[in-house]
Amino acid sequence: AVFGRNFIARDMGFRNTAGPQKHQAVALMTSADLAVYYKCHIDAYQDTLYVHANRQFYRECNIYGTVDFIFGNSAAVIQNCNIMPKLPMHGQQNTITAQGKTDPNMNTGISIQYCNIAPFGNLSTVQTYLGRPWKNYSTTVYMKSRMEGFINPKGWLPWVGNSAPDTIFYAEFQNVGPGASTKNRVKWKGLKNISIKQANKFSVKDFVQGDRWISASGAPFKANI
């Protein structure tokens, strides 16, 4: 767990070895403001990366998991990373994100940009989704990323029932690859089509003000979308 402001991790590995049978088992939890993870390896099964609070930046990291494996309620930008779902417990579905925004006035969300989303191993028997809404104002965007064909065409999974709260904000912007087609995505009011102007609200510069603090860490970053 990381709490200190301006925390920097480079070329580090964070792993929880509990295995899929242990259910929730976090590898890394960050509550620190202005935290940077550069070229790190973050590996577990369910609930791998807990982006708990404040502003966080992940660059060129490998992130592995199964159920809700990037989750929490920070303002997190995940840029140029490899996001790799693994084989879950028998009968489980993979969900990459579970963002936990509880108040519309919070400037929080998960912004995944310029990432590569590909299976770690053979997931042909597993349904894998981009995310599900942990809380009523869940906010997650995937932008200019590559998605391999293992992503379920519906894209997103409800937390309960057959739909999601109208108050969520989910978006996919200019992604590529066989899993990126939005043609058969769920028809939720909260799943938006966004413009480049709206996309930039989730950029390093506008979303986490990263142009002011990331460079001190030595990590490269792209300020805008």
Rounded to 5°, angle at Cα 60 from 125 and 207:
100
- Give, for 128, the enclosing helix (H) or strand (E): strand 128-131
The candidate with the shortest Cα–Cα distance to 94, out of 58, 119, 63, 76, is: 119
- How far is the C-alpha of 36 from the C-alpha of 218, rounded, in Å? 9
Closest listed residue to residue 171, CA positions, set 106, 224, 97, 118 = 97
d(CA 95, CA 133): 10
**Residue 23's pLDDT band (boundaries 50, 70, 90)?**
confident
The pTM of the full predicted model, rounded to 2 decimals, is 0.98
Tens digit of pLDDT for each residue in 62-115?
999 999 999 999 999 999 999 999 999 999 999 999 999 999 999 999 999 999
Q: If pLDDT is split at 50, 70 and 90, which confidence band does 21 have? A: confident
State yes or no: is 11 an active-site residue.
Answer: no
% the chain with pLDDT above 90: 97
> Which residue in 33, 68, 103, 206 is the catalytic one?
68
Structural domains in the chain, sorted by start = 8-217 (2.160.20.10)
**Tokens matching residue 160:** 């309960």
* Residue 151 DSSP label: B
**Residues 116-154 pLDDT 10s:** 999 999 999 999 999 999 999 999 999 999 999 999 999
Mean pLDDT value across the chain = 98
The pLDDT, as a whole number, for residue 203 is: 99
Half-sphere exposure of 132 (CA within 13 A, CB side): 19
What is the rounded distance in angstroms from the CA atom of residue 61 to the CA atom of residue 78? 8
